[in-house]
Amino acid sequence: MRHNDSNEDRSVRVLRVGEQVRHILSEILQRGDVHDDVLAKHMVSITEVRMSPDLRHATVFVKPLLGKDEEAVIKALRTNTAYLQREVAHRVKMKYAAKLKFLADESFEEASHIDQLLRAPGVARDLGEDAADEAES
């Protein structure tokens, strides 16, 4: 008899596996297990891993320390994808080895841009008026 997982159980598993993959990749890069000159010269943060619902695909968001040489780091990770996939598959007990896709994490730039917009004098003035209106209610 086959046990059917609820959608909630599956989504928790997807998140858990994504976090496990993130830790494994971080450890591999931190220890310098990838023999690549570009990766050896850069500290790389694995900021997030998003797994597909079937756990066959993993989108890995990365950020080099201080954002330096981001394109070169992404290219080096993509060049070493086969090795990284094998290592992850070896350490995560799953039916299939997840295909890794490396992307630059743009969330820091987006947050910075939003913060700048919110601090703009016109926006700050408008937000100040909204806050005053809410305080009066």
List the domain range (segments joined by +) for residue 52: 7-105
Which pair of tokens denotes residue 17?
């596996």
**62 has which bridge partners?**
46, 104
CATH of residue 22's domain is 3.30.300.20
Task: Give the Å distances, CA to CA, from 126 to 57, 68, 114, 115, 118.
Answer: 44, 36, 15, 15, 10
Q: Residue 95 has what pLDDT? A: 79
Nearest to 67 by CA among 98, 109, 102: 109
Do 65 and 15 lie in a common domain?
A: yes
Do 92 and 113 lie in a common domain?
A: no
Residue 60 DSSP one-character state: E
Q: Residue 135 has what pLDDT? A: 47
Which parts of the chain have pLDDT scores under 70? 1-7, 108-113, 115, 129-137
> Can you say how many angstroms the Cα of residue 110 is from the centroid of all Cα atoms in its chain?
14
Residue 54 DSSP one-character state: T
User: pLDDT tens across 47-72, in order?
Assistant: 999 999 999 999 999 999 877 789 99
